[in-house]
Amino acid sequence: MQSGNEEHVTEIYVDADACPVKEEVVRVAERHGVPVHIVSNSGMRPTGHPLVRQVVVPEGPDAADDWIAERASVGDIVVTGDIPLASRALERGAAALGHDGRPFTKDSIGMALAMRELMRELRETGQSKGGGPAFSKEDRSRFLRALEDALRDAKRRAAP
């Protein structure tokens, strides 16, 4: 818990089980000297990077999401493809970025949640087979730019 005199250090939380941009997160975090928490249900190859903390949570629905949502706060960045986790991060004042670099915002999260529910219903009724477009080089580039921008914004907000 911070006292009134301490400044918040931005941290990045990665919902890692299906995340295609873990390496990119570490590269950008290294440039900015920002700690990264890579959270997953299964063990991952250790990075050995001093800024990276790998967290393995117990198996179970939403265990990684819950771990991240309980810790992310104002000035932090959550990287996730999970729309409900993005919503929880926004509620706590953190920024939320999708793997393709598209930011989740307070203005866009309601529509994203509604579309998620609609797609779930379409899959359940067989009207949609699911699966979106493949992750592209453009998505990776957009993600790198968006994470860079989010870190700069966080540092600007934290500056006295």
Q: Residue 30's domain spans which residues? A: 12-152
Q: What is the DSSP letter of 132?
A: -
The C-alpha atoms of residue 59 and residue 106 are separated, in whole angstroms, by: 30
Return the structure tokens found at 74: 């104002």
141: domain CATH number? Answer: 3.40.50
Residue indicated by tokens 């050995």:
48
Number of domains in the chain: 1
List the pLDDT tens digit at each of the 160 positions of the chain. 444 445 678 999 999 988 899 999 999 999 999 999 999 987 776 677 899 999 999 888 789 999 999 999 999 999 998 889 999 999 999 999 998 898 988 777 666 656 656 666 666 777 766 566 677 899 899 999 999 999 998 878 766 6
Residue 2 counted as domain residue: no
User: Does 87 fall in a domain?
Assistant: yes
pTM of the predicted model as reported, rounded to 2 decimal places: 0.81
Domain membership of residue 23 (yes or no) is: yes
Decide if 78 is inside a domain: yes
pLDDT of residue 160: 64
In a domain, 59, yes or no: yes
Q: Is residue 157 part of a domain?
A: no
| R_g of the chain computed on alpha carbons | 16
In a domain, 160, yes or no: no
Q: How many other CB atoms are found less than 10 A from the CB of residue 86?
A: 28
Report yes or no on 90 lying in a domain.
yes
